[in-house]
Amino acid sequence: MSAELFNLTGKVALVTGGTHGIGMAIGITLGKAGAKICVNDLNEEKLESCKTEYQKAGIDVFTVKFDVTDEADVDRGISIIEKEVGTIDILVNNAGIIKRIPILDMPVADFKQVIDVDLVAPLIVSKRVAPNMIKKRSGKIINMCSMMSIYGRNTVSAYAAAKGGLKLLTANMCCEWAKYNIQVNGIGPGYIATSQTAPIREGNHPFNDLVMMRTPAGRWGEPEDVGNAAMFLASQASNFVNGHILFVDGGILANFGYVKGENEIPE
Ligand code: NAP
Ligand code: GCO
């Protein structure tokens, strides 16, 4: 396999919510492969401060503030990118939120907000970006799914409903756009050490013990682990991969579980 397959020089990539966490790791990884990186966020300060981190990686990131849930704002933001940088070749629908509230306690408005950001927004942004990919007969769309695209757990009903829907939205985008040489895939990160999981990872939270016990790799994932998977899905090497979710989870989904110590394989 030629290294050229992983050369993104000349490509324009948009990573939504790319000012930190998984999004930034993806932006840096694709930028190091030669892509021109554009990121959006809701927060002007984060858009400004992220430039320093990208610069440290040698990447001159293009930033635009827009709300991925607002069609008019998305159109305005993408138009700025298309005018200043170029039409988008690689779209990473990374922006997302989570609310950890039991179903009976969760206000419907909160449920709808999570659905808007995690499911409707990837539709909005993809609908705005795909027409130019169709014209070019080329494009890569990566939807940030989750283990919760296929499993539930207590308190994350809205998030699981959104990420489950995103799994099948990814499949449907594949069905409608593959004929235009557009590959639409998902990434399903396991438990990754970012600000989104800090509340269930830090301060001796019991969930940390669960993740450490259930993850065969014996560690939380790093944002860079997800960035590396995005590199494959953004590259020519994945041109026949479509409608797929690539799980990046340290083996947790392969593991029914075990009682620590009882059936450990001796070193
Ligand atoms: P994060 O640190 O919370 O980052 C999420 C990003 O999305 C932030 O930059 C946030 O901006 C942005 N965002 C939220 N709402 C937005 C909106 N309406 N418009 C524009 N940007 C918006 O989360 P992360 O851990 O890096 O996760 C990134 C993605 O991976 C999410 O889709 C998440 O569901 C998914 N994921 C994460 C894990 C994990 O273990 N961390 C596992 C599986 C999937 P602000 O900071 O300004 O709000
Ligand atoms: C949670 C976590 C998970 C991860 C991820 C797992 O509260 O269970 O936040 O939802 O974010 O989605 O794939």
- Give pLDDT tens digits for 203-234: 999 999 999 999 999 999 999 999 999 999 99
Per-residue confidence at 3, pLDDT binned at 50, 70, 90? confident
pLDDT, one tens digit per residue, over 138-182 is 999 999 999 999 999 999 999 999 999 999 999 999 999 999 999
Q: Residue 79: pLDDT band by 50, 70, 90 thresholds?
A: very high
Contacts with 89 (C-beta within 8 Å, 6 or more apart), sequence order = 11, 12, 13, 35, 133, 136, 138, 139, 140
Burial class (CB in 10 A: 0-12, 13-18, 19+), 198: exposed
Residue 90 belongs to what H/E stretch? strand 90-93
The two tokens of residue 223 are 């944002």
Digit-coded pLDDT (tens) for 57-74: 999 999 999 999 999 999
Say if residue 264's pLDDT is above 80. no
Instruction: Quote the CA–CA distance of 104 and 153 in Å, as a whole number.
Output: 14
Relative orientation angle of helices 71-84 and 121-136, to the nearest 10 degrees: 40
How far does the centroid of ligand 1 lie from the alpha carbon of residue 116, in Å? 13
CB 13 within 8 A of CB 234: yes
Cβ(65) – ligand 1 distance below 6 Å: no
Q: For the whole model, what pTM was predicted?
A: 0.97
User: How many CB atoms are located within 10 Å of the residue 112 CB?
Assistant: 12
Q: What is the pLDDT of residue 255?
A: 94
CA nearest 173: which of 106, 117, 122?
A: 122
Concerning whether 151 is annotated as a catalytic residue, the answer is no
3-state secondary structure of 220: coil
Q: pLDDT per residue over 92-140, tens digit each?
A: 999 999 999 999 999 999 999 999 999 999 999 999 999 999 999 999 9
- pLDDT of 49 reads 97
Q: Which domains does the chain carry? A: 3-194+220-248 (3.40.50.720)
Give the pLDDT score at 247: 98
How many A from CA of 68 to the centre of ligand 1? 11
**Is residue 148 lining ligand 2, measured as CB closer than 6 Å?**
yes
Q: What is the pLDDT of residue 262?
A: 63
How close is the Cα of 94 to the center of ligand 1, in Å? 6
List the helix and strand counts (H, then E) for the chain. 9, 7
Dist. CA 24–CA 27, nearest whole Å: 5
The atom number, within ligand 2, closest to the CA of 98 reads 9
